[in-house]
Each structure stands twice: as C-alpha cells, then as structure tokens.
C-alpha cells in the first residue's frame, strides 16, 4: 500500500473523472428536455431572505404574481437569496448577467445600493425596489414606506396603554422596542418614531431598546423581554423576525402587552397583542409591476408612501383589538391616526 498521502492524488483524479462523467451524463439528458418559449415580459422577484414565513416577502411575491397573472404577456420567477447579505450582490449580478429578466423586483432598504452596484456592471438591467430609497439612477425605481410614521402609530398606542389602567399596565411609564439587529432604518427612523409617538401620547414615557443580535433566536428574544418586563416595561414592540415569538411568550406569561409590526398579529396571542400596524406591500408591488409591464414606471425616481394613500395602516377593526383595548384609548388612537393623515 502507498503512503497515506501519496495515494490521494490519483484517488481524487479518479473521483473528479467519475464525477464529471456522472454530470455529463445528466447534462445530455437535461439538454434534450429543455426548450425555449416565446419572449413575454419576464419578471424576477429577488427575495433577500426566505419567502415562506415572512409576510413582507409573501406580499411581495403575491403582488408581483397578481400583476403578471392579469397580463398574459408576463411571467414571474421567484428567487430566494437567503439571509446572508454578503451574497445578495452576487446573486443579483448572476440574475442580471443571465439577461433573462426584463425587470428585477426586490424589497429591502439595503437593496438600492446593491442594485446600483450591479447596475454599474449591467446597465441594461431594470430594477423596481420596494421598501428602499434611491433617486437618480435611470435603471432603478424605488418605493419606500414611511417607517417613522408607522413606528409613531405603534409608539402612540404604546404610550396610551402604559399610562392607562388596563389590567396588564403598571404604574411606570416604560415601553420597550426589541430589534433583531441594529440597522440604519431601525436606529434612524423606527426607534425615534416609536419614541416620538409615545411621547405625543404621554410626555414622560421612556423607551427601552434591546437587540437580539439575529432574526431567529426566540429564546433570547424571550429572555430580553423578561428582563425588560422585570424592569417595569409593560408594552413591547418586537421587530425581530422569528425572535418575536419569544417576546410574545414572555409577555403572555407576565400578562403584559405586545404590539405587532407590518402584519395583522392580533390572533397570534389573544389578550397579549394589543395593537397592530400593517403595510400593504402586496398592493404597492402590484401597482409597481403593472406600471412596469405597461411601460409607465418612472425609473430613476424614488417615492415615499404612507398612511395617506393607504400603504401603511393601523388595524382598528379587528375584533380582538376591540375586545382588549378600552373604548377611550381606541378613540384617542383613532384621533391620532386622523391627525397623522393631515
């Protein structure tokens, strides 16, 4: 027998050859099976994450799909990018390099910068980006939701509840925000908005801010929430992906309240979720993609939408909200929403 390492080069050569053989075999088999169809308007939806279980991305896909369904000459393909930011640019570049898509639709505050970088390499590619902002690149259209406004809605209700005599509210005027990570929109828009909203409701409310460090560690989310609750926080807004679940459990155990962000969350934990904002990403995506198919999307411009046009809502008509939150607080919250619309 040869030495431990001298035998290996041959070995891997043979491996490589056999591997190649297997692959070539499958390749020929595959090539026969593939055909090209005629050229409709081809849309790629790039999801910087995973669709399933993420309402924001589910709405993104649904909106694009609906637009394509209504236009015979349009097809949609969904690509999941996973949660590693470092790989998004390469994935988008690969999409652009394939030249198989007339439009790439995606959603995330980080995507405009990535799209701009890809656009420098592949200037022909067109992008429509939801939930992000970039003006002046002729290949890119962006639409963003007014996150500060949305956070203010949540903050205002939190301020009302913590100062109220609701059974889960204590004497202290402390509310909390738990984020998955510290990202620009979080520190620059959401946290200030949440604080401003709460202080509009009651001037001396203070906001505790905690970070989970990722978007999935539910046990840590739960632990951070418990620590906050022990410090006297009685309303928490979690924006931490899967870790939200931990916050929900901790608050339910302690009998305090949670506010939900982006989607209707009242039914997730009855008696705990006391308020919910939502964004209409499906509507925004649908309208954007329809304009793109019809050739009327103003590439190069950046839009900001919010409460006024119905892209951000505070869900007031859910039965669980009506049951849990007293009339007086609901009226004040309603008045606040009306004032924001102006």
**Angle CA 67–68–70, to nearest 5:** 70
Q: Whose Cβ is closer to another protein: residue 270's or residue 334's?
A: 270
121's CB contacts (< 8 A; 6+ apart) are 93, 96
CA-based nearest residue to 110, from 100, 101, 121, 118:
118
> Between residue 133 and residue 152, which ones bind another protein under the rule CB under 8 A?
133
Least spacing, CB of residue 84 vs another protein, in Å: 5
Least spacing, CB of residue 235 vs another protein, in Å: 16
Please give the structure tokens belonging to residue 132: 């992000």
Instruction: Figure out which of the listed residues 75, 78, 196, 337 binds another protein, where binding follows CB under 8 A.
Output: 78
CA-based nearest residue to 70, from 102, 46, 43:
43
Instruction: Figure out which of the listed residues 43, 64, 114, 312 binds another protein, where binding follows CB under 8 A.
Output: 114
Total residues contacting another protein by CB under 8 A comes to 88
Q: What is the DSSP letter of 303?
A: E
CA-based nearest residue to 118, from 13, 101, 208:
101
> Between residue 185 and residue 214, which ones bind another protein under the rule CB under 8 A?
185, 208-211, 213-214
Q: Whose Cβ is closer to another protein: residue 77's or residue 200's?
A: 77
Instruction: Figure out which of the listed residues 137, 164, 222, 277 binds another protein, where binding follows CB under 8 A.
Output: 222
Instruction: Figure out which of the listed residues 130, 145, 160, 220 binds another protein, where binding follows CB under 8 A.
Output: 220
Block residue for tokens 């996150």: 147
Q: Whose Cβ is closer to another protein: residue 236's or residue 329's?
A: 236
Least spacing, CB of residue 150 vs another protein, in Å: 17
CB-based contact 180:239 (threshold 8 Å) = yes
Distance CA 15, CA 341 (A): 67
> Between residue 296 and residue 335, which ones bind another protein under the rule CB under 8 A?
none
Least spacing, CB of residue 339 vs another protein, in Å: 29
Least spacing, CB of residue 340 vs another protein, in Å: 24
Least spacing, CB of residue 285 vs another protein, in Å: 19
Block residue for tokens 């990018």: 81
246's CB contacts (< 8 A; 6+ apart) are 217, 218, 219, 220, 221, 222, 223, 225
Q: Whose Cβ is closer to another protein: residue 268's or residue 315's?
A: 268
> Between residue 242 and residue 281, which ones bind another protein under the rule CB under 8 A?
242-246, 249, 252-253, 268-269
Q: What share of the chain is helix, strand, coil (3-state, %, to 5)?
A: 50, 20, 30
**Angle CA 286–291–295, to nearest 5:** 150
Least spacing, CB of residue 139 vs another protein, in Å: 15
Instruction: Figure out which of the listed residues 66, 183, 287, 316 binds another protein, where binding follows CB under 8 A.
Output: 183
Note whether 93 binds another protein by CB under 8 A.
yes
Distance CA 223, CA 198 (A): 24
Q: What is the DSSP letter of 152?
A: H
> Between residue 14 and residue 73, which ones bind another protein under the rule CB under 8 A?
14-16, 18-19, 22-23, 26-27, 29-31, 33-34, 44, 50, 52-54
CA-based nearest residue to 150, from 272, 280, 38, 60:
280
Least spacing, CB of residue 144 vs another protein, in Å: 10
Q: Whose Cβ is closer to another protein: residue 121's or residue 334's?
A: 121
Least spacing, CB of residue 326 vs another protein, in Å: 24
């Amino acid at each position: 027998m040869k030495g431990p390492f001298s035998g290996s080069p041959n070995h891997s050569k043979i491996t490589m050859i056999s591997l190649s053989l297997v692959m070539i075999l499958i390749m020929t088999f595959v090539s026969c099976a593939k055909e090209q169809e005629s050229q409709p308007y081809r849309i790629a939806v790039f999801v910087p994450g995973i669709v399933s279980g993420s309402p924001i991305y589910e709405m993104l896909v649904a909106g694009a799909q609906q637009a394509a369904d209504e236009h015979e000459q349009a097809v949609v393909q969904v690509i999941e990018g996973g949660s590693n930011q470092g790989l998004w640019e390469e994935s988008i570049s690969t999409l652009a390099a394939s030249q198989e898509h007339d439009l790439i639709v995606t959603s995330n505050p980080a995507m405009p910068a990535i799209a701009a970088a890809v656009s420098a390499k592949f200037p022909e590619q067109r992008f429509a980006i939801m939930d992000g902002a970039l003006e002046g690149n002729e290949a890119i259209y962006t639409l963003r939701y007014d996150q500060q406004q949305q956070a203010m809605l949540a903050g205002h209700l939190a301020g009302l509840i913590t100062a109220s005599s609701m059974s889960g509210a204590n004497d202290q005027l402390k509310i909390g925000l738990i984020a998955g990570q510290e990202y620009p929109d979080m520190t620059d828009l959401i946290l200030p908005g949440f604080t401003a909203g709460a202080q509009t409701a009651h001037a001396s409310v203070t906001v505790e801010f905690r970070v989970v460090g990722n978007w999935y560690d539910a046990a840590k989310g739960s632990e951070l929430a418990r620590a906050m609750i022990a410090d006297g926080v009685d309303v928490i807004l979690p924006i931490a992906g899967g870790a939200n679940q931990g916050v929900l459990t901790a608050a339910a155990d302690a009998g305090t309240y949670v506010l939900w962000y982006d989607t209707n969350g009242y039914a997730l934990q009855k008696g705990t979720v006391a308020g919910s904002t939502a964004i209409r990403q499906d509507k925004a995506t649908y309208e954007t993609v329809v304009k793109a198919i019809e050739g009327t999307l103003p590439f190069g411009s950046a839009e900001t939408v919010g409460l006024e046009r119905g892209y951000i809502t505070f869900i007031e008509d859910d039965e669980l909200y009506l049951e849990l939150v007293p009339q007086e607080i609901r009226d004040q919250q309603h008045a606040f929403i009306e004032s924001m619309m102006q």
